Amino acid sequence: MTEHHRWEPYIPARTRLRVIEASCCEAFILAYEEGDFFVWRHAAAGRFEQTARGPYRLAFLAWMALITTHPKHNREVTPEHLATAPQA
């Protein structure tokens, strides 16, 4: 399976990041910023990471790969979700 989600440091653009879809516990956010789509995540205290910026199709592939391996992605918050959720 092709790796669609290499994480790199998130460098904020001047425009506001727009959330398209968030995973159940907000571990992964499908986002849009300045004409590019990518998956965004909270990596560690105050640090954020993103997948490569690009067209929706590529960001969506990364999103699907992450979401399908995410434990029990559904509307319910379980202990597994909390274990993988970003730490505030």
Pick one of 5, 10, 25, 66: the residue that binds Zn ion (CB under 5 A). Answer: 25
What's the min distance (Å) between Cβ of 16 and Zn ion? 24
- Give SS3 for 37: strand
Task: Give the residue nearest to Zn ion (CB).
Answer: 25
State which of residues 5, 10, 24, 40 lies at the interface with Zn ion (CB under 5 A). 24
Radius of gyration of the chain (CA): 13
Both tokens of residue 48?
């954020």
* Beta carbon of residue 88, minimum distance to Zn ion (angstroms, whole number): 15
What residue ranges in the chain does DSSP mark as E strands?
Answer: 8-9, 18-22, 29-33, 36-44, 47-50
Residue 40's Cβ-side half-sphere holds a number of Cα atoms within 13 Å equal to 20
Rule CB under 5 A: is residue 81 a binding residue for Zn ion? Answer: yes
Token pair recorded at residue 30: 């499908």
Stretch that binds Zn ion, among 4-12, 13-21, 47-55, 79-87 (CB under 5 A): 79-87
The window from 1-9, 28-36, 45-53, 77-85 that contacts Zn ion (CB under 5 A) reads 77-85
